[in-house]
């Protein structure tokens, strides 16, 4: 009897070992690529900064986190609100939100148009939508820079037709950054909306018309609710990279229209304030996490809503 | 039943839907496909009218033209005498029950039923009252707040019906609404649909490929094939006096025999020579012409002794199917013939394959068929 128990225990132990072995590659990847770096960031954010960059390990300091919100006045040592940081934080959130809305406004009709074409034409349209991805982001951004510059084709054209006599300053404005963000992230909005529209039963649209709904009402009451998961997915896919965008605000926003990504880069570079950079990174991460939680809530709402 | 068979005098009969020379084609040039070819039908108010035909016959196309989802290439669609062909579906007082129900998954049962009325701008209290009334009518009161994805197929069917009936349409279109249900539920829903039609008094235009369903429910049936309407009539006319071989074959079981007209035998009756015997058949024909004769399997007595004007045949097989026994027979000219006999314990006896029998056709039950439509 006892030998049987022993055998069972041994078998159990072997099973457990095998499970851990099978899990090991995944666990290792998660630890090395995600948990590890994040822990380093967290630790760096609560250390004193080194004079020439880096941190003084072991010297605990919350200056990094403090500096996100407040800074010491260089003349009288009083604490004042770090309005430059907060402005950049606010600009990042604002630009990312506007980008999301703008890509939705442009992307939804585009996706709807493509989804209602005959099947063989649809795939050609989707190919066209994805072609910009084949070119490097930096190169595409420089192309927009060329278009918007004071000597660029848009200003030249406007001067030529006589609408203006001096070039409009378009480059290095929030508007330019926004245009760049919308252009870059538009496909990320179109693709998920398209895929949910493509799966939609177009009989529902006919049922809507049949029940006295005009085109606009069908769109509002039937099409949009039916592809809500696609709209939410697209919004998340656009918002997350847009709020952390680095290249676009750097190239199109010049030095002064920074976003979070640029501010963080600055702290690790010229600013030599690694703890602040780490703290800012974690702030960005928290905003993205909040957005993802919203996404999970919103997309699971439809599955659990049976009978409230 | 007396109400259903009662035929209103022609003077009170009002048309609900009339189509005049309706034509619908797809594609162009050599690739043109004529989905509907010169269809003219007249559907009366309060009628349960069925469009019956095999898939691809154009019945759904016709329904979609009436609903307004597609527009005719040519011809008119009149609703109470007014041409509605150019109107979009949301301006037609006609509602549709879709084959896959097309319920709005993001709305509750009650919201689905109320949708049409909400779009029409009915006041809230009126919608609430009407939704409650419709829920009662289709016996779904208990499930009003459920999501449509959380109810069974039969229940979805009822919701689709209630949703289409709620805004009080003048005509209700039903596109094979029972095809997704299992046999027993389908039978129940046939009765239910007929009850709803009688209770609401709304004109029903019902599309199906199931001839049994059509016969059971309809006031009148239009049999369609290849974009054309072959015959319009009440179920008895369609079954007993089909105009051609297609209709005869499509509706019910049939034995169709090749024959030759020998002589007149009174008004509308002819002596016809088929499979070695002379029988009397009814319909239209000219003397001496080759003709087809329709005999339904249940219109035949099987005799064991030679009888004048009975067709001699050889038993090939016998299948017991509960209420009936089906006899597979071979006639003298080699043609196959099926007979259906009602079962009863005292008549129960088996016939051996190869045995000889004589088939006596019931009086007035051999029907001459017209030339087949091409």
User: Which whole-number Å values give the CA distances from B320 to B14, B300, B301, B350, B361, in the listed order?
Assistant: 47, 17, 17, 9, 22
Average pLDDT (A32-54) is 90
Inter-chain contact A209–B146, Cβ cutoff 8 Å?
no
Q: Which of A42-51, A78-87, A228-237 has the lowest mean pLDDT?
A: A78-87
> For residue B179, with 0-12 CB atoms within 10 Å meaning exposed, 13-18 middle and 19 or more buried, which class applies?
middle
d(CA A93, CA A261): 12
The whole-number average pLDDT for the span A252-275 is 89
Query: What are the CA-CA distances from residue A123 to residues A34, A114, A131, B246 (Å)?
Result: 36, 9, 12, 43
| B45-56 per-residue burial string, b: 16 or more CB within 10 A, e: under 16 | bbbbbbbbbeee
Per-residue pLDDT of chain B (374 residues; tens, 9 = 90+): 333 333 444 556 789 999 999 999 988 878 888 999 999 999 999 999 999 999 989 999 999 999 999 999 999 999 999 999 889 999 999 999 999 999 999 999 999 999 999 999 999 999 999 999 999 988 899 999 999 989 998 899 999 999 999 999 999 999 999 888 888 888 888 998 999 899 889 999 999 999 999 999 999 999 999 999 999 999 999 998 898 889 999 998 899 999 999 988 888 899 999 988 899 999 888 888 888 999 999 999 988 888 888 899 999 998 888 888 899 999 988 899 999 988 877 666 677 788 889 999 998 889 998 744 43
| CB-based burial label for B206 (10 Å; 0-12, 13-18, 19+) | buried
A208 to chain B: which residues are within 8 Å by CB? 115
Question: Residue B347, class by beta-carbon neighbours within 10 Å (0-12 exposed, 13-18 middle, 19+ buried)?
Answer: exposed
Confidence of residue A1 (pLDDT cuts 50, 70, 90): low
Judge whether B27 and B35 are in contact, CB under 8 Å: no
Domains detected in chain B = 1-93+170-179+200-242 (3.40.50.300), 253-369 (2.40.50.140)
| Shortest alpha-carbon distance between residue A115 and chain B (Å) | 18
CA dihedral B264, B267, B270, B271 (to 10 degrees): -60
Interface contact A306-B95, CB threshold 8 A: no
CB distance from B208 to chain A under 8 Å?
no
Q: Nearest residue on chain A to B69, judged by CA atoms?
A: A206
Output B10 or A36, whichever has higher pLDDT. A36
Backbone angles phi, psi at A160, to 5 degrees: -60, -40
Calculate what percentage of chain A has a pLDDT beyond 70: 97
Place of tokens 């990094």: A64
Q: What is the mean pLDDT of residues A249-277?
A: 89
Q: Do A210 and B96 touch (CB under 8 A)?
A: yes
Query: Shortest CB distance from B167 goes to which of A207, A211, A221?
Result: A211
From the CA of A226, how many Å to the nearest CA of chain B?
Answer: 7
Phi, psi for residue B95 in degrees, rounded to 5:
-120, 160
Instruction: Please answer yes or no on whether B115 and A307 come within 8 Å at the CB atom.
Output: no
Measured CB to CB, residues of chain A less than 8 Å from chain B are 201, 203-204, 206-214, 217, 221-222, 225-226, 228, 302, 305-308
pLDDT exceeds cutoff 50 at A306: no
Distance, CA of A206 to CA of A224 (rounded, Å)? 15
Residue A228 C-alpha, separation from nearest chain B C-alpha, in angstroms? 10
Best residue in B26, B71, B97, B106 for a mutation probing chain A (most A CBs within 10 Å): B106
pLDDT of the residue at B180: 81
In chain A, the domains with their CATH numbers are 2-71 (no CATH), 81-301 (1.10.3720.10)
* Lowest-confidence pick of A63-77, A136-150, B229-243: A63-77
Q: What ipTM describes this predicted complex?
A: 0.82
* Amino acid B321: pLDDT: 85
pLDDT digits (tens, 9 = 90+) for A101-112: 999 999 999 999
Maximum Cα–Cα distance for chain B, whole Å?
77
* Chain A CA closest to residue B173: A210
Contact of A238 with A192, CB cutoff 8 Å: no
**Is the CB of B167 inside 8 Å of chain A's CB atoms?**
yes
Q: Which residues of A touch B98 (CB under 8 A)?
A: 203, 206-207
Chain B residues whose beta carbon lies within 8 Å of the beta carbon of residue A210: 67-69, 89-90, 94-96, 116, 164
User: d(Cα B112, Cα B107) in Å, to the nearest integer?
Assistant: 6
Q: What is the pLDDT of residue A308?
A: 38
Per the CB < 8 A criterion, the answer to whether B360 and B303 are in contact is: yes
What is the C-alpha to C-alpha distance for residues A127 and A140, in angstroms, rounded to an integer?
Answer: 18
Mean pLDDT of A276-298: 91
B122 touches A: beta carbon within 8 Å: no
């Amino acid at each position: 009897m006892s030998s049987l128990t022993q055998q069972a225990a041994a078998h159990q132990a072997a099973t457990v070992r095998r499970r851990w072995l099978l899990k090991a590659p995944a666990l290792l990847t998660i630890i090395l690529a995600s948990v590890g770096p994040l822990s380093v960031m967290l630790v760096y954010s609560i250390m004193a900064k080194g004079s020439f960059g880096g941190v003084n390990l072991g010297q605990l300091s919350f200056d990094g986190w403090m500096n996100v919100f407040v800074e010491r006045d260089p003349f009288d040592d009083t604490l004042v609100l770090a309005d430059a940081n907060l402005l950049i934080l606010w600009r990042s959130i604002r630009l990312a939100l506007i980008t999301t809305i703008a890509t939705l406004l442009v992307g939804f009709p585009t996706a709807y148009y493509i989804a209602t074409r005959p099947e063989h034409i649809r795939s050609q349209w989707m190919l066209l939508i994805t072609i910009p991805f084949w070119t490097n982001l930096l190169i595409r951004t420089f192309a927009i820079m060329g278009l918007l510059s004071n000597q660029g084709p848009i200003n030249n054209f406007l001067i030529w037709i006589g609408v203006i006599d001096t070039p409009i300053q378009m480059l290095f404005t929030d508007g330019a950054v926004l245009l760049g963000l919308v252009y870059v992230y538009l496909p990320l909005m179109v693709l998920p909306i398209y895929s949910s529209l493509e799966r939609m039963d177009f009989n529902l649209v006919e049922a809507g018309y049949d029940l006295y709904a005009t085109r606009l009402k069908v769109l509002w009451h039937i099409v949009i609710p039916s592809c809500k998961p696609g709209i939410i997915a697209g919004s998340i896919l656009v918002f997350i990279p847009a709020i952390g965008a680095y290249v676009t605000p750097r190239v199109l926003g010049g030095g002064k229209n920074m976003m979070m990504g640029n501010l963080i880069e600055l702290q690790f570079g010229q600013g030599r304030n690694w703890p602040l950079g780490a703290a800012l990174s974690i702030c960005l991460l928290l905003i993205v996490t909040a957005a993802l939680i919203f996404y999970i809530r919103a997309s699971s709402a439809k599955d659990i809503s049976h009978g409230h | 039943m007396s109400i259903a068979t009662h035929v209103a005098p022609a003077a009170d009969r009002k048309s609900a839907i009339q189509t005049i020379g309706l034509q619908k084609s797809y594609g162009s040039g050599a690739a043109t496909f004529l989905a509907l070819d010169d269809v003219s039908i007249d559907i009366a108010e309060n009628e349960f009218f069925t469009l019956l035909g095999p898939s691809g016959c154009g019945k759904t196309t016709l329904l979609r033209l009436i609903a307004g989802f597609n527009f005719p290439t040519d011809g008119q669609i009149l609703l109470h005498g007014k041409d509605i062909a150019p109107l979009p579906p949301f301006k037609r007082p006609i509602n549709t029950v879709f084959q896959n129900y097309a319920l709005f998954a993001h709305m509750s049962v009650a919201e689905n039923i109320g949708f049409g009325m909400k779009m029409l701008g009915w006041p809230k209290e009126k919608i609430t009252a009407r939704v409650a009334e419709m829920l009662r009518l289709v016996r779904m009161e208990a499930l009003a707040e459920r999501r449509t994805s959380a109810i069974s197929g039969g229940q979805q069917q009822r919701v689709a019906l209630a949703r289409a009936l709620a805004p009080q349409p003048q005509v209700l279109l039903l596109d094979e609404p029972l095809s997704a249900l299992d046999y027993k539920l389908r039978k129940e829903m046939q009765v239910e649909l007929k009850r709803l039609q009688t209770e609401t008094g709304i004109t029903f235009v019902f599309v199906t490929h199931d001839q049994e369903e059509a016969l059971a429910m309809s006031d009148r049936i239009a049999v369609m094939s290849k974009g054309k309407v072959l015959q319009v009539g009440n179920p008895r006319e369609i079954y007993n006096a089909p105009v051609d071989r297609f209709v005869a074959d499509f509706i019910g079981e049939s034995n169709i025999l090749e024959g030759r007209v020998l002589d007149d035998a009174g008004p509308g009756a002819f002596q016809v020579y088929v499979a070695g015997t002379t029988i009397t058949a009814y319909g239209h024909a000219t003397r001496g012409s080759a003709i087809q004769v329709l005999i339904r399997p249940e219109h035949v007595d099987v005799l064991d002794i030679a009888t004048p004007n009975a067709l001699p045949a050889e038993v090939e097989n016998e299948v017991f199917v509960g209420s009936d026994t089906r006899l597979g027979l071979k006639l003298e000219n080699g043609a196959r013939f099926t007979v259906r006999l009602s079962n009863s314990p005292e008549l129960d006896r088996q016939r051996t394959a190869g045995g000889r029998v004589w088939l006596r056709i019931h009086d007035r039950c051999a029907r001459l068929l017209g030339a087949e439509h091409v």
